[in-house]
Structures are given as C-alpha cells and as structure tokens.
Structure 1
Amino acid sequence: MYRRWLSLLLFCVLSIGASIAQSQTEPFVVGDPLPDAPELAPRGAYKVGVRTLKLTNPGQADILKAKDGKAPAYDRPLTVEVWYPARIPQGQAELTQYEQVMGLANNPQRPVVPYTFAGRALRDAGPDVQSGPFPLVIVSHGYPGSRYLMTYLTENLASKGYVVVAIDHTESTYRDVASFSSTLLNRPLDDLFVLNEMARLSAKGSPSFLAGLCDASRTALIGYSMGGYGVLNVGGAGYSPQAVSLFKQLAGGSDTLRLRAAGSPALKAPVDTRIKAIIAFAPWGMERGVWDAEGLKGLRLPTLFIAGGKDDVSGYDKGIKLIYEGAVNADRYMLTYVNARHNVAPNAPVAAILKPGLPLNEYMHYAEPGWNERRINNINQHFVTAFLGWHLKGQDNRKYLDVPEKVTDGVWPGFKPRAVGLEMRHAKPD
C-alpha cells in the first residue's frame, strides 16, 4: 500500500511538473481571448502571415530642419508591418517574435532597451491570394509608439480577412522620437502615402506579394492618440488656425500645416473615395485648440471613437467627447470605458515590461489603471470587427453597435453576463 501511494504521489508530481514546463513553453500572446471575451473578439478563419516593408516618400518637407519659415525637402523613410491572410504549410507554427524597444531615444532617464514578445502570425508566409482580394486597414500609433503597439488588433483583423498595415511614423517612434512638429505635420501625409503605396503594390502584375491580395478601394483608417489626430484629418476634419499657429512656433516659423487646415484646397476637396470608415482611439488635440467647429464639420465618413472616460492625455469631456459632438456631418459612434484613462488602445503589458526595477513609465505607457488591459483588448476586437465588417464588407453588424447607452449586466448583444463599465453613444449626421 505504501509503495502504491508513493508511486501515485510521484506520478502526480511528475504530471504537475510536465504541466508547468508546458505552460512555460506556451507563449502568452496579447489579444488571446479571455473566457468572458465578447462574441466577435476571437480570431477568424484565416491563418495570418506578417512581413516588414521599407517605403520611401520622396520630396517631403524636412520640418526638423526648418529655418526662417522654410524647410528643405528630403526622401522620408517609413517602415511598415503588414499582416495578411496566409497559407501556412502543415506543421509550421503560426507564431513569430516581434522585436520592440522600451524607453525613448536620447532620454537618459528612459534608455532604449530592446525586448521581444510573441505574436500569432508566421513571418513571410505565403499570401492567400486565392481567397482575396481583402479590404485594407491602415493603423497609426501614438506619440511615441511603434507599428507593434496594437498587435492584438492587427493580427486579429488579418485573421478575419483584412490586409492590415501598421506604420512606424519616422521621428515619432521609441527609437527615433524627435520634435513634435514632425508628428503634427506628417501623420496624415504618412497615412495617405501608405494608402497609395498599398494600392500600387497590390495592383495586378505587381512583383509584390500583395499583388491581387489587397483591395485598397475598401480602406479603413485606425489611429490612436496622435494617430487619431492624423486619421481624423485624412477623413476630412481640418486643423484650426490655432493648430497652424502652434505648429509655426514649433517648426522654425514654417506654416506648412496650413496645407491640412480647414478651408485649404486639400480639405475642400472630396475625401479619398477609397476610404470608407475611420476609427479614432483617444484622438488628441481638442483641449489644445487643434480642432474647432468649422474644421470638424469636414468629417463626413462613418467614424467610431473609442475613449476612456477619465482620459488624462487627450481629455474626455473637453477633449474626445467634444470632437465626437462637433463632427456633426458624420454618422458616428463613441464607445467609452468608464473611469479609464488614455491607454484604451495599446497591447496589454508583456512580460518584459513587468520586470522589477524598470522605470515606472515603461509600464504606465501600456497600463490602464482602472481596467484589465486584456479585457480592453478583447472588447476593442469585438467592436472594431463589427464596425469594419459593416463598412468594408457589408455585414449586418449594426446590432452590435446600436445598443442601449450603458451596458448593464451584459445586456448588450454579444456580451456575456456581468459586463459593466461601458457606454455607447450614437449620433447621426445633422
């Protein structure tokens, strides 16, 4: 009997040890669904590939070198990451390692520290051209940030039949952050350039892997914080005279931002007809006078705003909410995380950022003090899926968006019981 119990105990210990070892080798991947994830959060039917592209936008204003109101021209480099429906051979894992950094360039208090984290995509996998072409989604990060800031969302959308392109905005990433003037000027210009490049690379006969894979005539733009500032402008919202004045102070007297201001030829022209929808996470600028009533009237595309009710960077009552209310010519929704602050868009903090001894800022750049970040990721996946499926694929997803203003105990379509802390507003064009 003693030997039998000893054998059983040894078996249990070995089994537990094997389970622990297996759990340690199985990577945690941001964006994986929690048990209470809403209905549209889990990944779709497509396998996902990922590739890095290096692009160059010629003849751009080098605003960092502006002097006496003039800026020399330069060829602006951009790195983008592309996630896409892929064909993955049997036996190959749909996994990758993203190379990221924490910290800030040229900041001794926050030195740049490389790290990696896992993703559910296969690097350089063959594209699933036979199932395409797929709508295009362009993603723009905050200041500073990187093209890997929202992989939970970019991978998820690719698995649902989209080609997703996230931009490293030069002079605005952790590795190369520079004067704010570059971010103010280049966000909408980068977005439009990448749209044109994706259309070119996807054309029939192109030597790119994107040929026949991407349908740029069905495009949506997603932006977070300063990315939201940029995508709203691309969507037709013109910058205010105060924004032009602020830019001029920061950019050596240059008033180049007037080219994207309300009333400028670019903003009087119809919005690029390829762009069908805008999603703006915590868009910046209202509290600083970057937007005004006249400029916001130019936004006419269907728009989903996503915000924290206590946003401490872009502001809520006098910031994001006023942008939502001022966009009177757009069919618009606003999802609010009650009591959340600014970080309603990024990946949940990964293991490298949770290590003891790191500066608190590295954690706080991703962390949301009032919410579980993984839950936010899942909820964003759900609503972004609903919104893009409606506007880019014609799916009847309005039931997920046309909901009571406040969720109470999971009564919203697609949510499990005990869901609380969310609000959804909807306003139709005047």
Structure 2
Amino acid sequence: MRLNPQVNNHNILLIFFTALFISTGPVVFGQGTDKFIYGDALPDAPELAVRGEHKVGVRTLDFVNPKQIDILNAKEGIAPLYDRPLKIEVWYPAMLDGNTPEVVVYDQVMGSSNDEKRPLIPFTFKGRAAKDASPLSKDGPFPLVIVSHGYLGSRLLLTYLTENLASKGYIVVAIDHTDSTFKDAGGFQSTLLNRPKDILFTLNKIDELNKPKSGSFLSGLIDMNNSAIIGYSMGGYGVLNVAGAGYSDQLKTFFGTMTGGNTAITSLVSNDPQFVGGKDPRIKAVVAFAPWGMERGVWDLEGLKGLKTPTFFIAGDQDDISGYDKGIKAIYSGSVNADRYLLTYANGRHNVAPNPPPVESLQEGLHIDEYYRYAEPSWDSRRMNNINQHFVTAFIGLHLKAKKDYAKYLNLQENSNGQDWFGFVPRSSTGMELLHTMPAE
C-alpha cells in the first residue's frame, strides 16, 4: 500500500487498525475466550493488575452463626435470638489439568427484594475460576482475605478482585451478609449491627475449618496469622470497626431510636469496655473502599484513634453516598494511629469498588439506579478495576507476604498528573491522587 507523504502518524494508526478490524473481526481482550471477562487486564492495566501464576478454584459454603440478636423483630427494645445464616464464596489456588476450563458462571440478581418498584431480575456472568476444583495444597499455606460487600450487594460484587487475588496465592472469602443483599434486603438496623459481627464470625469460622482434621478442603491451607479484611461502603463500615475504629455515641443513640431502645450495638462503640475491635492479631491489613458513616456521625475522632492496623482507603472525590471531604477523607485524616493510604479517583462517585455494570442484562425501562449500582459516570469500570487490583496487590502483598519490593508501587508522588506513576503504562496514570500518612508517634 502506498501512503500519501502528508498522512500523519495518527492517520497511519487509524488505517492500520481499520484494516485489522476488517480482516480479523472485532479486537477483543481476554484470556482464551471470545469475550472480556470481569477482571481481565486491559492493554493499559498497571503492572500488578495482571493475574498471578495460580489457577483458581471456587466453592460455595453455608455458615450459621447461632443465637444472634434478631434485631429486625425487636419489640420495645427487646429482641429474640435466632440462628443467623451466611452464604460464603471461597476462591483459592487450585490444581487443574489441561482439560478443565478455568471458567465459572455466577448467578446474580439486580433489583431489591424490599422494593416492589425494583423487582428482582436474575442474570449470569462469567468468571475465571473452576467450580469445586481441588485446592493446591503443596504451595500453601496461603494468606487469607475476607471481603464484605455494600448495602445492597452480594458476595459476587467484586469477583474481578477476588479471583485476581486468589490467582496470586491468597484464600479469598466473600460474605453474603443476610438482610443486606439484593435478594433479602431488610431493615438497615440489621446491617448496622451485624456487619462487623459477620466479618469476625467468618474469620473465626474459617480458622476452625483450617484446623487439622476439620474435614474441610480448607484444612491446613491458610496462614491465618496473615489475614486482611476488605470492605466496600457498609463493608468499609464493618472492617474499620473490626480493625479497631469504634463507633460513636451518636450511632448508639440513632440505633436505639430505630429499634425501640435496643442497646445491642453498644459493644461496638468506642467508649464501651466490651469493645474489642483492633485486638485480633491475625488481621495485618485493611482495605476500605468508600467506607460509610462519617457524614452521619457514625465515627468521631476518638473512635478513629482505635484504628492501628495498616489501612488502604479508596474513594471518589464526588462520592454522594459516603461523602468525601467530610466523609472518607475525614476518616483517613482522623485515623491518626494507623499507617494509611488514600487513593482518590478524580470525579469518581461511590461505585469505585464493584464489577462493571452487567450491560447485556439491563432491560429497557429498568430503573437507572440498577445500572448505577455498578457504574461510574466519569470512569470506565474495567479501568478502575485494574487499578484497584494493582494497588490492593501491592498493599496486601507488602503486609501479608512481606514483599518489601512492593513498596515502590506505593511510594509515589501525590498527584498522578505530574509524571507517570511507577508501574503504570506511560501516559496512563492521570486523574488520581495517592496520599500516605504514617501513624502519630
């Protein structure tokens, strides 16, 4: 083909990719499939977003936490007890032969069970894991990561991250928080009370299954003393409390108003002698995506002093659910006793954590809020997912696997627009800020 000498480089590239498209069909990204799967690395994904060396298995477990306070059925402040069910998804390094596909189909719903105007609509999506595969015990034990979703949400809301971490040698456990999922949405007082309790119960239950002769596939597979907890929105509300940030007296008053005077949440408040948050030596790192509550008085400076575990916060500076300057950034600033980071997406709202929106499943006339349970108005969710994979890998790798060389991915200039951040493709690290503050002496 003969080119006009006045055609510039931009036009040459345009001609080349047009010819490629015509001759080969649409260009697709993925690992051996004809479709992009959540979590796959885009061409401009930062370095640590790429999947690790391990194949991934996934299993579903059912837990029951006995004799819990049934706060949704409290009357005049008195609540009965019930056995609280929790559905759990576990991703782990797996042994797969060449004939076993590393693909799973997840069942999910959109909508809300407590809102007749937003009926439940089922949909499916693919992931890169093999259902019920045998665990790869020879390379273990592996550090543990527990993931807590938002309100509303599900254990499958962050599969781009859970699968990715499992491929890098982690046991990753995500919780369906009863009364807080799309399928069983209940009164908000249940989420306020049970979110940190569910996380700690799951940590202890996984510890039991890791014991010798437990009969579980997890037996001996986990390094429990190197555990991280990750939470999004109300999950962030939960993991910060488990890690030591006590709730405020204002939340105790609000909770009592909602429940006719019930005081069950008192043990999670910072000034209560029963509060034990932050004293679990197994937890070495925390990741909090858009943690909720500061603007509503859930946190105060005294309670935030209890957070001493290294923490990585991720937020959008236009978050209209958790707030930013008086919300997430204020939590970051107030956590004076923690080694902490804050990654901020410029023009990002609240959905900095989830999988991309299931566009193929969205039906005509469906409420726009179903789309915006997942989507960001100013960011490509797949791009954001890759960035999250990169930074979470660096942060928990540093603290759970003692990968000291990962510090270079975190020791960056604050504003990403000044020069390329280390680990990013040239010219791709724009629109972000990364703050780092060491604990007060």
Do both share a fold (TM > 0.5)? yes
The residue number in structure 2 matching 1:114 is 122
In structure 2, do the counterparts of structure 1 residues 269 and 234 end up closer, same or farther at CA, with 3 Å as the change threshold?
A: closer
The residue number in structure 2 matching 1:189 is 197
Structure 2 residue runs without a partner (length 5+): 1-19
Aligned partners of 1:115 and 1:352 also within 8 Å: no
- Which of 403-412 and 254-263 deviates more? 403-412
2:390 matches 1:387: no
CA drift at 1:351: 3.5
In structure 2, do the counterparts of structure 1 residues 261 and 18 end up closer, same or farther at CA, with 3 Å as the change threshold?
A: closer
**Structure 2 counterpart of 1:198, one-letter code:** I
**Structure 2 counterpart of 1:309, one-letter code:** D
- Which of 114-123 and 252-261 deviates more? 252-261
After superposition, give the CA deviation of every residue in 1:407-428 in whole Å (9 maximum; x if it has no partner): 1265211011222001000111
Aligned partners of 1:237 and 1:267 also within 8 Å: no
After superposition, give the CA deviation of every residue in 1:344-394 in whole Å (9 maximum; x if it has no partner): 000011233444332211111101001111110000000000001000000
Tell me the secondary structure at the aligned position of residue 267 of structure 1. coil
**Structure 2 counterpart of 1:423, one-letter code:** E
2:383 matches 1:340: no
Q: What is the 5 A alignment of 1:199-348?
A: 199-267=207-275, 271-348=279-356
The residue number in structure 2 matching 1:424 is 434
**Structure 1 counterpart of 2:400, one-letter code:** L
Taking the aligned partners of 2:331 and 2:106, their CA distance within structure 1 comes to 34
Aligned partners of 1:353 and 1:362 also within 8 Å: no
Once superposed, what is the RMSD of the aligned Cα atoms? 2.1
The residue number in structure 2 matching 1:87 is 95
Taking the aligned partners of 1:32 and 1:161, their CA distance within structure 2 comes to 17
Structure 1 residue runs without a partner (length 5+): 1-11
Residue of 174, 184, 187 corresponding to 1:176:
184
Of all paired residues, the percent bearing the same amino acid is: 59
**Structure 1 counterpart of 2:423, one-letter code:** G
In structure 2, do the counterparts of structure 1 residues 145 and 13 end up closer, same or farther at CA, with 3 Å as the change threshold?
A: closer
Aligned partners of 2:242 and 2:277 also within 8 Å: no
Taking the aligned partners of 1:13 and 1:407, their CA distance within structure 2 comes to 33
| TM-score after normalising by structure 1 | 0.94
CA drift at 1:91: 1.2
The residue number in structure 2 matching 1:5 is none
In structure 2, do the counterparts of structure 1 residues 34 and 74 end up closer, same or farther at CA, with 3 Å as the change threshold?
A: same
In structure 2, do the counterparts of structure 1 residues 98 and 270 end up closer, same or farther at CA, with 3 Å as the change threshold?
A: closer
Taking the aligned partners of 1:268 and 1:105, their CA distance within structure 2 comes to 34
The residue number in structure 2 matching 1:40 is 48
Residue of 382, 386, 394 corresponding to 1:378:
386
Residue of 67, 71, 90 corresponding to 2:79:
71
CA drift at 1:321: 0.5
Residue of 363, 368, 377 corresponding to 2:371:
363
In structure 2, do the counterparts of structure 1 residues 19 and 316 end up closer, same or farther at CA, with 3 Å as the change threshold?
A: closer
Taking the aligned partners of 2:372 and 2:226, their CA distance within structure 1 comes to 35
| TM-score after normalising by structure 2 | 0.91
In structure 2, do the counterparts of structure 1 residues 77 and 386 end up closer, same or farther at CA, with 3 Å as the change threshold?
A: same
2:43 matches 1:30: no
2:409 matches 1:400: yes
The residue number in structure 2 matching 1:412 is 421
Taking the aligned partners of 1:269 and 1:225, their CA distance within structure 2 comes to 19
**Structure 2 counterpart of 1:307, one-letter code:** A
The residue number in structure 1 matching 2:358 is 350
The residue number in structure 1 matching 2:4 is none
In structure 2, do the counterparts of structure 1 residues 78 and 424 end up closer, same or farther at CA, with 3 Å as the change threshold?
A: same
**Structure 1 counterpart of 2:369, one-letter code:** N
CA drift at 1:250: 1.4
Tell me the secondary structure at the aligned position of residue 146 of structure 1. coil
The aligned length equals: 418
- Which of 52-61 and 206-215 deviates more? 206-215
